């Protein structure tokens, strides 16, 4: 009876033992494969998840940094506009001062030119007066020659010169 003894569903005890042994071996292989294959795959997925989370946090930090840099840039841009306006204002003031200085220098130069021209005119007037005096002396000497040639005596000649001088006036000789 031993040989004909059947177990469940007419299965042989050796077959059941082999099936159970194979089930245990498969379970052990599953645990070993789980440790060798599934754990690295899980670790790979965990690393990927951590890397994505890190990338997201880096992106947020970069976005915040960019926003801060933008605010700083806009602040500097406003400051630069203020500085540019200050520089332009200062340049305008300097230009006005230079304009006034140039005008003053031009007026002074004009005064010097006018003064020099007046001095030149006075000198020219004196030269003209000297030339007139020389002409008068020449005319007087020609008259004197004519008088001498006409045999006029010295008294008549002196009288003629005095009369000529009186006609010309004392102011002509004095100037």
What are the tens digits of pLDDT across the range 14-34?
888 999 999 999 999 988 888
Q: pTM value?
A: 0.36
Asked if the structure places residue 125 within a domain, the reply is yes
Asked if residue 92 belongs to a domain, the reply is yes
CB 139 within 8 A of CB 160: no
- Cα separation, 101 vs 122, in Å, equals 31
3-state secondary structure of 4: coil
Give the mean pLDDT of 135-148.
77
- Residue 161 — pLDDT band, cuts 50, 70, 90? confident
pLDDT, position 173:
54
Q: Do the domain assignments include residue 167? A: yes
Position 2 in a domain: no
Residue 101 lies in a domain: yes
Residue 17 pLDDT:
92
Is residue 86 included in any domain, yes or no? yes
> How far is 111 from 117, CA to CA, in rounded Å?
10
DSSP state of 175: -
Q: Beta-carbon neighbour count of residue 168 at 10 Å?
A: 15
Per-chain mean pLDDT for the chain: 84
Residue 127 within any structural domain of the chain = yes
What does the pLDDT average to over 139-164?
73
**Domain assignment present for 103:** yes
Residue span of the structural domain in which 47 resides: 8-174
Taking only the tens place, the pLDDT of each residue in 45-90 is 999 999 999 999 999 999 999 999 999 998 888 888 888 889 999 9
What is the tally of structural domains in the chain?
Answer: 1
Q: Is it the case that residue 6 has pLDDT exceeding 90?
A: no
Axis crossing angle, helix 39-149 with helix 154-168, rounded to the nearest 10: 150
């Amino acid at each position: 009876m031993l040989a004909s003894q059947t177990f469940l569903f007419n299965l042989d005890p050796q077959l059941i033992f082999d099936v159970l042994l194979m089930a245990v071996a498969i379970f052990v292989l599953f645990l070993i494969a789980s440790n060798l294959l599934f754990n690295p795959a899980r670790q790979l997925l965990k690393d990927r998840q951590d890397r994505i989370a890190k990338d997201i946090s880096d992106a947020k930090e970069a976005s915040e940094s960019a926003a801060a840099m933008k605010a700083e840039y806009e602040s500097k841009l406003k400051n630069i506009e203020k500085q540019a306006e200050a520089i332009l204002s200062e340049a305008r003031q300097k230009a006005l001062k230079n304009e006034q200085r140039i005008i003053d220098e031009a007026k002074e130069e004009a005064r010097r030119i006018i003064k020099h021209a007046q001095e030149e005119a006075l000198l020219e007037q004196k030269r003209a007066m000297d030339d007139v005096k020389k002409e008068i002396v020449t005319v007087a000497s020609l008259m004197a020659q004519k008088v001498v040639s006409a045999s006029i005596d010295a008294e008549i000649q002196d009288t003629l010169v005095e009369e000529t001088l009186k006609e010309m006036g004392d102011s002509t000789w004095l100037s």
